[in-house]
Every structure is written in C-alpha cells, then in structure tokens.
Structure 1
Amino acid sequence: MDERRTTPHLDLPLHRLQVPLPHLLPFAIGSFDAIGPLSRAGFPHRHSFYEIVYVTGGHGAHVLDLVHRTLQPPQLCVIAPGQVHYWADADDLTGQVVLFNEDFLLSHPEDLAALRGLSARPALALGEHAGPIAALLADMELEYRTRPAGYPGVLRASLHILIVRALRACAPGTDGAAPGRVSELAAAFARLVADPGGLHRSVASCAQELGVSPGHLQTLVKQATGCTPGRLIRQRQTLEAKRLLASTELTIRQVSREAGFGDPAYFCRFFRRETGMTPGEFRARVGGNHHDPRITSIAGAPEAP
C-alpha cells in the first residue's frame, strides 16, 4: 500500500495520507513493507498527517527537525504535521507504522497536545514499556486488517492508549496531560499555530479566535505546556525558519516571509537572538554539523512573556 503522494511545497516534498476507503477511516497501520517504500524515505520531507513509528530493528538514524538520532530499537518516533524528517543510511528497518489525520482524534482532543509534546523528541526509548506497546500495536494491526464490527471505535480507543503509554515512557509516573479545559485550550492553540497561517498570528488574534482573553490564554497555555503563547509562537517561527534554511534554496527574504515576518532585517535580528547565528551562518553550518547545539536547539533565548 502506497500511503502517500508527494507534492512540491517550497522545494520540500509534502506527503498526504492515502489509505483504503479514506472516507470511512483516515487511518492506517502496518509494517514498513505493508505501508510502502515512502515509509523508509531517505530524503527530507514533511507530512500533512501524524505518524507514529515503532522501530523494532535496523541500523542507521532517524533525523527529525535537524536532530540526528542513531537508531536504538526498540524505540518510538512521533512525527507531527509540518515536521521535516527522513531515515539516514537506514538498513533492515523493521517495526510498525501508524498513520492518521487530525480528525481521527476528535474523541480525544487532549491527545493533540500530547502528540505535539512527543514529536519534540527525536525518539523515545521504551524500556519496560516496549512489551505493552508492542502487544497493543499488534492488536491494532489485526483489528485494522480484519475489520470486525466496531473496529473504528476500537482503533480510536487503542490509539489513545498508545499515546498515553508513550507519555508514560518519556515521563514515568505521570500521564503528561493537563486536565480538562486547560488541555483542550492548549491543544486548540497548538492547532492554530501549526496551521499554514499560524506563524503570522499574534497571541491576541489567537485569543480572539479561541474566545478567551489574551491573559487567560497565557495562563492556561503556560499551565499546560510550561511556555507562554508568545514563546511557543517564536519557537514555531524559529523552527520553521531552520527547516526552510536547511532543506530548501529559498532566499533569506523568502524564508523570512514564510516564517511569518514582513521585514527581512527584523527576521535576521530575531533569528540571531534565538539561535546565536544569522540565517546565512546557520545555512552554512547545518550541512556539515547537525550536532551543533545552536542548530539542534529550537531557541536559545530566555523566555519572555
């Protein structure tokens, strides 16, 4: 099954979800072989959907938003829409790949915030959680292949359990989720910022769209994520600029515009403040050294309101 088609976007391939009967279930699960060759893509690309990869074997590395991580199975990789990733010099990859669109999570909106947090990590070492996660994925794959009565509900519930188990693996003893309204608002804010136009939004415009005051938005998002809404927007702008500088041949002016800045000169000052490098210096360095902390870090400046 070839689950994705490639379309050009700013010189960077964008893969869209293609699954059997997409009008019934925007979801797929299977081995690397079953999902298709693009599940092992060795070139930088981004998705319009979520991907969770459970790697059980293989050699090489997974690169997610410029962070190069050597494979150490068993491990879990979570890729969110818009992130740039690829498999570097990967051989004999084994495991399972889970693909789904955001609307598959409607019954558990808090999972969106959890997935964004998990996708900030290039890989999750599973330790004692590997067995339960492997069993859960095997059950999900069987449910997906055989499609017994009620299987969409079972898959949605199983995906929620998978996300909770992944949270436990990265933060033992906690479920990683903020309660109720706090989590829902943080997830809604994350969706706004992740939208194509999100990098051009202000905190005030996001608050207006979500129907809350800027002060209330700041309080709840800070409680749920540990960061202010302004800091999260700046992180997204910085990360998008890094992606475009590293993966495209766009000019600095074009990168500035795509990252949400109307003034290229201000963008250059902003980028240097956040990373310690000018955009040109970053582009020159990134090709040869993914391990420079100024490259792999999202932002280096202290948090401001």
Structure 2
Amino acid sequence: MSDLCKPRLPAIPLHRLEVPLPHLLPFAIGTFDTIGPLSRAAFPHRHTFYEIVYVTGGRGAHVLDLAHRTLEPPQLCVITPGQVHHWADADGLAGQVVLFNEDFLPPDSQDAAALRTLATRPAHPPGDESGPIAALLADMGREYRELRSGYQGVLRASLHILILRALRAGAPDGRLPDRDRADELAAAFTRLTGRPGAARRSVGSYARELGVSAGHLSTTVRRATGRTPASLIRQQTTLEAKRLLTGTRLTVRQVASELGFADPAYFCRFFRRETGLSPGRFRAGAVGKHHDPRIGSIAAAPDDP
C-alpha cells in the first residue's frame, strides 16, 4: 500500500497551560485533584510546558517516551515540552504537581538544561532529599494560594531550589553536573537574543558575534537546550511583542515595525501562532479587568504546526 493510501494516524494530543493573558502567572502548583484530571491522564500526550510531579502515594506506572517505570513512592517525575507520557494502570495517585512555561524560569539560569537531564528517567526516588523537597513544595503551595507580596519572586526562587535538589537526589554521588562549553555557548546566545531587535537578526549574525559557525551554533544550542536557535529567537520576539503591547501605546503596526516585521499582517499571524491570540485581543485582555493570576488546570489544544 502506498503512503498516500495509508490511513493517517491520529496526532498525539498536545496540552498547554491556560495562560492567555500577560497578568496570568505561567505557573501552577497543586494536587492531582486540584490541577485536574489531565494531570493523571492515562492516554499518551505531550505538553508545551514543563511538569514536575512528586508522587507520594498510589500505584501503577509512569510511562515517559516509552520508558515504563513502576511507581514506588515517593518518586519525582519530570516531563519537558514535547515528551510523550502517560500514567498506566494508576490508582490512588497522590502528591504535588508543578506546571510552568519556560518563560517562568530565570533567563540566565541553567534550569532548563537541568530539567532535561532530570527528564531522562521516567521517575526516580528523592532519597535523602525527600523531606526537604516535600517541605519546599508545601511552602510553594502556600505562596501560590495566598498571593502575598513578592510571591512571584519567591515561587521562581523556590522552583530553582527544587530543581537543584532534584538534581542532587538523582546524582549517584550527590554532586551536581558541571556546566560544559555547550551550556556556556547556549547561555551566551540566550543573553544576546534578549537584546532589543532580536527579530531583525539571523542565526548567522549571532554565530558571527559569538565567533562560531552557524552550523556549530545550531548543533550546540539544540544539544544544550533541546530547541533550535530560530525557535529561541521566536520566543524572545514574542516576549518583546508582549512587552510592547502591554507597556506602550504603540499601534500594532508600530509594534510590528519595532520588532522588524515589514508586514503588519505577517506579524499578526506570527503572534497568533505563538500565543493563540491576536495582538489586539492580547492587549485588550492585558489592560482589562484584573484576574486571579493563578491557574487551576491544564487544557487540551490542537497540535502546534
């Protein structure tokens, strides 16, 4: 049978955090029950966001990228964007679930690389870190529920500590991995894309500034971050667009021009593809009625192109 005649297999469902407006925090923490039924989904799916699960009770198995690991609580599971996972024959799952987008991580940290390291295993016991991890998650839950002054900074700092403790627990000798040259180059590239005008620059121009070839930059950045340089540039461009739309009175056409888009219509298509909203709707929501910055669940959405 030719490829044209073969039935098309259904796409793996892609879930994303429900954070359509800029004042909604791209972070959530709760139990399996408060986060929602998709937090214990029994069907293979993937995310646009990171998920850290600290399982303290229940039975069954966690399946991550086809690797099957029987649950033996307490266990820590880390899922990164794009990985396929599900819970198999799970019953009575208990514990804490932490969900967050990459833009919630400190911009110059190595947390994203650490999370990819942790995600190489479907689950692992926290060992001596079990008590500190449980206490840290409890404190993060209180900060998230109470929304006291400075809670965003506390949650970011606590998430960083949680990642370090998870790394320490997963290291055979309790030592954290050293930062290598690939991480250094990727971090330098990320810092450059944070400057104004990132959308106007090509990957080649960044490579020249960093003193490497475009091919080497692409290979190194992908190995260190799991993403292409072009996707990181798109991410930074989207972030700058959000800043301009919410923090200035520039028209959409002017925002497009500031970002280096010659065609405002193309900018609108770009922004909708990256955020799910038109620039106008995004801005209207940002300056409208204040909403609770917490989110309580994840929702299914069509696959990204």
TM-score normalised by L of structure 1: 0.59
Return the alpha-carbon distance in structure 1 between the equivalents of residues 94 and 209 of structure 2.
42
Return the alpha-carbon distance in structure 2 between the equivalents of residues 148 and 231 of structure 1.
38
Cα offset, 1:183, TM superposition: 3.0
Native 8 Å contact 1:108 1:160 kept in 2: no
Is 1:61 aligned to 2:58, yes or no? no
Cα offset, 1:136, TM superposition: 0.2
Return the alpha-carbon distance in structure 1 between the equivalents of residues 80 and 205 of structure 2.
21
> Aligned residue for 2:14?
14
- Count how many residue pairs are aligned between Structure 1 and Structure 2: 206
Cα offset, 1:175, TM superposition: 2.2
> Aligned residue for 2:92?
92
Native 8 Å contact 1:15 1:47 kept in 2: yes
Cα offset, 1:128, TM superposition: 1.0
* Structure 1 residues not aligned, in runs of 5+: 1-8, 191-203, 222-227, 237-305
Cα offset, 1:22, TM superposition: 5.8
Go from structure 1 to structure 2 and tell me whether the alpha carbon gap of 1:210 and 1:124 turns closer, same or farther (over 3 Å shift). farther
Within a 5 Å distance, the mapping from 1:1-305 to structure 2 comes to 11-18=11-18, 23-171=23-171, 172-178=173-179, 183-186=183-186, 208=207, 211-214=210-213, 229=220, 232=223
Cα offset, 1:123, TM superposition: 1.0
Go from structure 1 to structure 2 and tell me whether the alpha carbon gap of 1:210 and 1:84 turns closer, same or farther (over 3 Å shift). farther
Q: Which amino acid aligns with 2:158?
A: S
Return the alpha-carbon distance in structure 1 between the equivalents of residues 220 and 20 of structure 2.
38
> Secondary structure of the equivalent of 1:125?
coil
Residue-by-residue CA offset, 1:40-98 (whole Å, 9 max, x unaligned): 00000000000000000111000000101000110100000000000001000000000
Range 157-166 or range 121-130, more displaced: 121-130
Range 15-24 or range 26-35, more displaced: 15-24
Q: Which amino acid aligns with 1:85?
A: H
Residue-by-residue CA offset, 1:112-164 (whole Å, 9 max, x unaligned): 11111111111121111110000000000011001110000000000000000
Cα offset, 1:188, TM superposition: 7.5
Residue-by-residue CA offset, 1:177-205 (whole Å, 9 max, x unaligned): 417x7534346889xxxxxxxxxxxxx96
TM-score normalised by L of structure 2: 0.59
> Could you tell me the percent identity over the aligned residues?
65
Greater relative contact order structure (CA < 8 Å, 6+ sep)? 2
* Structure 2 residues not aligned, in runs of 5+: 1-8, 191-202, 228-305
Return the alpha-carbon distance in structure 2 between the equivalents of residues 166 and 61 of structure 1.
20
> Secondary structure of the equivalent of 1:12?
coil
> Secondary structure of the equivalent of 2:58?
strand
Native 8 Å contact 2:76 2:125 kept in 1: yes
Provide runs of 4+ in structure 1 moved above 2 Å.
19-24, 106-109, 181-190, 204-212, 214-218, 228-233
